[in-house]
Chains A and B, each alone.
Chain A
Amino acid sequence: MKKNVTALQKGLNTGITLGVVMVFLSLTAFTVVLANIIGDSYRPTPVTYGFVIALFGFFGGLMASSKRGLPNDDWKNVLTSSAAAGLIGGVILAVPLAVLGSIHLNGTDLRNYLVMVSPDVMETYLFGIGLLPAILITVIIFAAGAILGGAFNKGAARAEWRARWMANSQEKIRSAWQAPRVQQVVAGRYSKLFFMVGALLLLFLMPFVWGSYWNYVMGTVGLYILLGLGMNIIVGLSGQLVLGYVAFFAIGAYAMGLLSSPEPLGIQLGFWPALLASILVAALTGILLGLPILNLRGDYLAIVTLGFGEIIRILIKSDSLTWFTGGPKGLRAIAQPAIFGLKFNSDVNFMHLILVGVLVGVFIAYRLQYSRTGRAWLSVQGDQTVSRATGVNTYQYKILALALGAAFAGIGGAIFASRNQFTGPEDHVLMVSINVLCLVIVGGMGSLPGVILGSFVLKGIPELLRDLTDYRLLVFGVLLVVMMIVRPEGLWPTRRPKLEKQHLSKYDPDNDEASSEEVSA
């Protein structure tokens, strides 16, 4: 526990931290981009920008007025702390504003020194008025936001009436849920089936309804779910930190491309045989990669596999292999799926294909995870030496994890190449591996719902927030740091099955007695 400081000190600490963060975000023009998103326009207005400043101030007030570290939780302390945070944060933010503002007003283009700070951005920071009023307004808005945040925290979030109201509404929901008629429906014999059919029907119909843009975004999310499922087997279950995962994705995509494109090999297999081949080739690569790295652990494993991913990408790109891989210009005219001679290549069709892939993938991953095989993987992750001494052939299981994980990446790569009708070296950069690793970690290592949730958070949301493209790495970094502090086990942490309960529910108590006697006899 932190030692208690005075309300003023706590406010100053929070304010300084937040102020420094705000300066950084302002120098990268992140605040302006946020203002654009809020205002839904391409040009920030003083109003939306002011709102962003107030929002950050509000956040600072919330932090400064949290119970932790405050001597006590009365109005005086809360307001002192949040006001101090707001003022000091505003002042820190005002210092660069004063410096940069005066340079800007002299007519110098700041972009020579700070790439993101265009004259437009500077005008926003100055609210289109003079330097001194702008500084005053910034500090006042920030402080006002902070005080409001503190007041909100004390007056609403922590207040007694809110707790009572929450408990009350929870009780209402619970009693409504437990009403006999509701329970009858939920526990009914066909309701589970009904819900499942309903969900499947919804999934089937959605691609028709939401248009090609959404099909593209959701298709990408789906492909990343497939990749995440494979990565989850390798990292989340068997505990091998493989950073070159993109290599398997690349090999899947290139197997599909090389076997079905007219150039450069001219084999021109159909989609389905090429898909099967992609899976097999990727799995085989997994096995081949697994052999030399069997005895590597931790950091060493990460570095070696990172190198593997880069080697594959550079080989694909290499000029001397152009006759085989198509070189830097990539592969074109990759086969698209057809069913009984009917073309199956619209965006809706691909969405359905990816949906089927994801459903089958989740099913397989689920069954593997809760089997003897999955437990062996988990034991390898927990303690490899002990796992081996307990009788698990750890080499075999590590290679199996790599092969199956790579197979998932192979499917993902093959569908990706076919959907885009093209694949080139730039599709297979290190960032793909890092994205997949991030989504597994953010979702929760070893957790299947976590993989799905992680894919939506890390691939779906950035696709939708196109304005944030330049800041994707920043957002990633912040997200990961926050995750590690707030929820180190992931958004949807893995839960182990209740096997004992499951076992006991299968056998009636009489049977159970008999078996216990056998042992003690």
Chain B
Amino acid sequence: MTKLTLTNHPPVVIEAQSVTKRFGGLVAVSSVDLSIREKTIYAIIGPNGAGKTTFFNCISGFYTPEEGEVLFYGKSIKGKTTDRIAHLGISRTYQNIRLFSQMTAIENILVGSHCRYTNHWLDAILHTRRYRREEAESLAKAHDLLKFIGLEGLGDNLASNLPYGAQRRLEIARALASNPKLLLLDEPTAGMNPQETDEMIEFIRSLRDNLGITILLIEHDMRMVMGISEYISVLDYGMKIAEGTPTEIQSNQKVIEAYLGPGAAALQEKFSRGKDE
């Protein structure tokens, strides 16, 4: 860490080195390289079935890549179980919201902070000092998070009874409760209207600005991706076909072809030339 801070660049949080994941004969992710520096908002985009979520799952430990290496602050996390990875400081949300629906909102956040506390079943039965301290501490923190996501006063409602947007934010709050260094967001604005999307963009920015968390997200909504991310990688058929800043990506021929089909780039060129004349 100290060595890295000597340079001007912030340290690399997560680094994927030629990560490959196969399902039988299908190569879902094919030797993808990626490296994300601290406090960046980084986006992965690509057409449907490009392997974005599979790549996400390789980082968060749901899958173990067949080849390649995943480094978190320079240490390999490949093959570690998901709970260990969460403990190290990576947490995530899901494309389709996956809250613990039979628990209240605040309890969901408390489960999120589970790995930061150590009291066990005997402490719970005997109400030891450690139990009381940790319980009060985690509850206070959960309540602060509840305020942060604007759900104060709704904490005792069952998670499944909250409105859609609130559930999305609650899922992020659950992920935040473990004090992550890296937050993986899988389509955080899926199913939201433009106004909700704008609010979510602000919210994600505030995570980075106020809490100093590095964010890696998958997103389909181009307006959102271009508006929020500082760096973008594009996947297609499991391979990384481009990476760069939003403006670089917007004018990248390969990306346009991947999204709109071959020939589209040429067409676009023609149109833009037509405009110039």
Contacts and interface: CB of A to CB of B under 8 A. Distances in A.
B54 to A, nearest CB: 15
Interface string B124-147: 110100010011101110111011
Contacts of B101: 382
Name the residue among B111, B112, B120, B131 with the largest chain A CB count within 10 angstroms. B111
B100 A379 contact: yes
Interface stretch (A56-64, A140-148, A151-159, A367-375): A367-375
Interface in A492-519: 496-504, 506, 515-516, 518-519
Contacts of A367: 124-125, 127
Give chain B's interface secondary structure class.
helix
A375 B112 contact: no
A374 B120 CA distance: 10
A379 B83 contact: no
A209 interface: no
A232 interface: no
Interface residues on A, range: 35 or more
B106 A371 contact: no
Contact of A389 (B83, B103, B104, B139): B83
B117 interface: yes
Contact of B124 (A373, A503, A506): A373
B147 A519 contact: yes
Contact of A499 (B61, B62, B156): B156
B31 interface: no
Contact of A383 (B60, B98, B110, B155): B98
Contact of A390 (B81, B86, B121, B144): B86
Contact of A368 (B106, B121, B147): B121
Contact of B115 (A381, A391, A502): A391
A170 interface: no
Contact of A382 (B103, B123, B147): B103
Given A375-B103, A515-B140, A389 B127 contact: no
A378 interface: yes
Given A387-B100, A387-B111, A390-B112, A500 B121 contact: no
Contacts of A388: 81-83
A261 interface: no
Contacts of B148: 519-520
A379 B98 contact: no
A376 interface: yes
A333 interface: no
A520 to B, nearest CB: 8
A385 B82 CA distance: 9
A504 B154 CA distance: 12
Contacts of B155: 499-500
Contacts of A497: 104
Contact of B114 (A381, A390, A504, A506): A390
A400 interface: yes
Contacts of A387: 100, 111
A372 B134 contact: yes
Interface residues of B, number: 55
B112 A499 contact: no
A185 interface: no
Nearest to A512: B143
A372 B86 contact: no
A393 interface: yes
A390 B82 CA distance: 8
A364 interface: yes
B24 interface: no
Contacts of B115: 390-392
Contacts of B73: none
A354 interface: no
A375 B121 contact: no
A496 B112 contact: no
Contacts of A391: 83, 86-87, 91, 112, 114-116, 178
Contacts of A374: 124
A387 B110 CA distance: 12
B94 interface: yes
A394 interface: yes
B98 A364 contact: no
Interface in A476-493: none
A452 to B, nearest CB: 19
A520 B127 CA distance: 32
A515 B144 contact: yes
A394 B110 CA distance: 16
Interface in A384-436: 385-394, 400, 404
A442 B91 CA distance: 38
B103 A379 contact: yes
A120 B21 CA distance: 75
A368 B131 CA distance: 12
B238 to A, nearest CB: 23
B169 interface: no
B119 interface: yes
Interface string B51-82: 00000000011100000000000000000011
Contacts of A382: 100-103
Nearest to A502: B139
Given A373-B120, A378-B100, A391-B112, A500 B86 contact: no
Contact of B131 (A371, A386, A504): A371
Name the residue among B60, B125, B210 with the largest chain A CB count within 10 angstroms. B125
Nearest to B86: A391
Nearest to A374: B124
Contacts of A515: 140, 144
A500 B140 contact: no
B264 to A, nearest CB: 38
B158 interface: yes
Interface string A108-150: 0000000000000000000000000000000000000000000
20 contacts: A371-B124, A372-B110, A372-B114, A373-B120, A378-B102, A379-B103, A383-B98, A383-B100, A388-B81, A390-B178, A391-B112, A496-B102, A496-B158, A497-B104, A498-B104, A499-B155, A506-B136, A519-B144, A520-B148, A520-B210
7 cross-chain pairs, A with B, having the tightest CB-CB distances, nearest first: A391-B115, A500-B155, A371-B124, A391-B86, A382-B100, A389-B82, A379-B111
Interface of B: 60-62, 81-83, 85-87, 91-92, 94, 98, 100-104, 106-107, 110-112, 114-117, 119-121, 123-125, 127, 131, 134-136, 138-140, 142-144, 146-148, 153, 155-156, 158, 174-175, 178, 210
